[in-house]
Amino acid sequence: MPVFFTAISTILGAIMFLRFGFAVGQQGLLGTILIILIGHMVTIPTAMAIAEIATNQKVEGGGEYYIISRSFGLVIGSTIGITLYLSQAISVAFYIIAFTEAFTPLFNWLNGFNLPGWVSWLMDQKQTIGIPALLGLTYIMLTKGASLGVKTLYVVVATLGIALVAFFVGSALEQTTPYGPVTTILDFPNSGIKSVDFFTVFAIIFPAFTGMTAGVGLSGDLKDPSKSLPLGTLSATISGMIIYLFIAYKLHISASPLELADTSRLIMSEIAWQGAWLIPIGLAAATISSALGSIMVAPRTLQAISRDRIFPTPFLNDFLSKGKGVSDEPYNASLVTILIAGAFIFLGQLDAVAQIISMFFMVTYGSLCLISFLNHFAADPSYRPSFRSRWYISLFGAIACFGLMFFMNASYAIMATILLVSLYFLIAFFNKDKKSIALIFQGVIFQFSRQLQVFLQKADKEAARSWRPSVVALSKHTFDRIGPFDLLRWIAHKYGFGTYIHFVPGYLSRQLNREAKVAKNRLIKMAEISDSNIYIDTMISPSYQSAIAQIIQLPGMAGTDNNLLLLEYTKHDITGLTDLIDNFNLIRSVDFDLAILASSDRGFGIRKRIHIWITQQDYRNATLMILLAYILMGHKEWAGAEPRVYAYFTEDIMDQEQSRLTGLIQAGQLPISTHNVEFITRTHDANPHEVIIAKSRDADLTFIGFLAETVKKLGAKMFTDYDLPGNILFISSSDEMDPK
């Protein structure tokens, strides 16, 4: 019952008394019913979402902000939380402006006594009652605290009940205009009343349906929250919808459209039995209790945001988070809230304030529905609410919220969106330490990735029309030689996928496992700093041979099998090369393309000159070398690099190979220009190694192809005869690549 009464007393509030007749007058009975149904297409999914989330966890300080920030992470959560706070702070002004309307009958009566002009002017100003009411509420809240709200709750609900009974038993006014049951009123000639379109009326009326989340903050004080929260929240939401449908019908049969559309009249008081005093009392009770609720909730939201250290200066966070007394009343946050509310009270326009609040409500409710949907999609086993909504209901609620914002008022929606985006970037800028990915997004990414991987594996594979690198690299010298890591991140930047394995020699033990985790975290930091799109891992293995055997069997991480193995050694220590040669048969046991990086002191130099050597012995490697060079040049660190292809053939086949290579380039099958190709005739007495050294001594990276048969015949000599200052990438294609 506390959850139900808290929610229903907020739902049946100011808009019900002051603007529901306006809605029926402007849109007719069916139009108003449509407004009620559309509004509850948002509020019912939100009520189900909030009941679901709240039964999975205890909702602590900040209420809805706590849920949103702990689900979306502090940066996104506080962005939405600030807009939530603004809606709550502006709601204080909204309810107090509505509270002043309860005095309209009294002021009208007093005006009959020929009062002085300045007194009449004061009574016409909403601030005359609004500002003292705000100050009075502030005093009550700061001195009595939140406990007062619970004590007055039942009195407010009883007063609302009496006012509604009086309204339903009241008599119809004498109607002056025929009013059919399906009429939609669009014009009020000679009345001074302006017709309003459907979605503007909806934006004004929508706050009437909100308030179902008011009971969420009680989750920590309930005996059985898993039962009370969903039952109380949903019953209040559905009860509110039913009551509003009956109110719309009662208004429809009791007054003319012109009388209903006149916002200067408190039409419910004219219809209700003893309405002249019962309805204003009901309005006063509903609005002052809602204002008191908002003035208690809003500062606590602001206090919770500041305690998460979101604001840019420590002073501001400390000032706003400061509590007072045993109950930790948010004293300073309350002062800020009062200033914001006072500014909107001076605005004095109930309809304008209602539309602004509607925007912020839509953002908050859409976020809550989205949290529920994402939790369903993420399928986190730790998410076990005792009450469950349905994923499609939550998704529909989220889409409806964000869509209705633009239908209601496109200008306000754009302003709200700009505010949200600006807040996000400001908060992210001042809170770089809080930009870790939230668990809910990790779960969503995991599920999406899992389903995509399974789909790709099961899908029928068409014959490959193009080659895309899926590279796995292995090195135990990562922190000494950065070359393989850089090369992999360049290849995987845009066109392919890379898996980098740091090899830790030894037998698996607790100590070595801890060391491997430390190394992995260091590598992840390296990847973050260098803006790399590669997957990082470590591997503990007793020997280089066993490590090779393991990585060539790794599954592809991008939904496709790995197709390129990247290994490395340094020219100053051929131990690594010896390990490669000793395990060459094992490496060639799978159909991988093979890239071996020979690192030098010069490294990749200034990253401007790439040389590619094509010879008649290893022509089948040409396409792979050119394609890898093209992929490298797609990275910003190789921007402006000049590729140079050296076609080195004997005189007897030069014409044939030149025509073939030129034809492939002109047909667009090789990503290079003919201006970047130099044809060199190989004489019988020339040493090809000396020719390559002479031409490529200033290259930053030289591509040289090789054949498995040559390695088996020459061993390490195949690689050591190229004495170049820069890095060399030896390439061996598993098969001749079709250049498409």
Residues 136 and 250 in one domain: yes
Report residue 29 as tokens.
Answer: 């009975």
Q: What is the pLDDT of residue 363?
A: 83
User: Does residue 453 form part of some domain?
Assistant: no
Q: Cβ–Cβ contacts within 10 Å for residue 664, how many? A: 16
- Give kind and range of the element (H or E) at residue 337: helix 331-347
Per residue in 41-93, pLDDT (tens digit) is: 888 888 888 778 777 766 665 667 777 777 777 888 888 888 888 888 888 88
Same domain, 35 and 53: yes
Q: Identify whether residues 426 and 492 lie together within a single domain.
A: no
Same domain, 607 and 568: no
Domain boundaries, position 549: 469-596
Q: Coil, helix or strand for 645?
A: strand
CA angle 455, 734, 654 (to 5 degrees): 130
Does 342 lie in the same domain as 314?
yes
Is 464 inside any structural domain?
no
Instruction: Establish if 520 belongs to a structural domain.
Output: yes
pLDDT of residue 180: 46
pLDDT of res. 183 = 45
Parts of the chain with a pLDDT under 70: 57-63, 102-130, 133, 138, 140-153, 174-192, 213-226, 327, 347-351, 381-382, 434-440, 454, 456-466, 557-559, 668-671, 736-740
Question: β-pairing, 727-732 with 564-570?
Answer: unpaired
Q: Do residues 207 and 155 both lie within one domain?
A: yes
Note whether residue 731 is domain-resident: yes
User: Measured between alpha carbons, how far is 396 from 399 in angstroms, rounded to an integer?
Assistant: 5
- Structure confidence at residue 227 (pLDDT): 75
Helix ranges, 583-734 (H): 584-587, 622-633, 651-666, 688-696, 708-714, 717-720
Token pair in block for residue 313: 């200066």
On whether residue 457 sits in a domain, the answer given is no
Tell me how far apart the alpha carbons of residues 37 and 30 are, in angstroms, rounded to a whole number: 10
What percent helix, strand, coil does the chain show, rounded to 5? 65, 10, 25
228 with 202, same domain? yes
Q: Are residues 340 and 402 in the same domain?
A: yes
Q: In angstroms, how far is the first alpha carbon of the chain from the final one?
A: 71
| Residue 575 within any structural domain of the chain | yes
How many angstroms separate the CA atoms of 32 and 20, rounded? 9
Residues 285 and 333 in one domain: yes
Of 596, 624, 656, which closes a domain? 596
Residue 592 lies in a domain: yes
Identify whether residues 588 and 614 lie together within a single domain.
Answer: no
pLDDT in tens, 664-693: 777 766 667 778 888 888 887 778 888 889
* Strands across the sheet containing 470-475: 534-541, 497-505, 470-475, 564-570, 593-599, 727-732, 701-705, 609-615, 642-650, 677-682
Task: Indicate whether 726 belongs to any domain.
Answer: yes
Q: Which residues 6+ apart lie within 8 Å of 101 measured at CB? A: 14, 17, 18, 266, 283, 287, 350
CATH number where 357 lies: 1.20.1740.10
**Among 558, 576, 596, where does a domain finish?**
596
Q: What is the pLDDT of residue 130?
A: 63
DSSP code of residue 716: T
- The amino acid sitting at 413 is A
Distances in Å between the Cα of 139 and the Cα atoms of 96, 291, 334, 338, 356 are 15, 13, 11, 11, 27
| Cβ atoms < 10 Å from Cβ of 75 | 22
Question: Looking at the structure, do residues 305 and 189 belong to the same domain, yes or no?
Answer: yes
Among 434, 453, 488, where does a domain finish?
Answer: 434
Half-sphere exposure of residue 84: CA atoms within 13 angstroms, side-chain side:
31
Same domain? For 238 and 110 the reply is: yes
Taking the CB of residue 369, how many other CB atoms lie within 10 A of it? 27
CATH of the domain at 642: 3.40.50.620
**Total tally of structural domains belonging to the chain:** 3
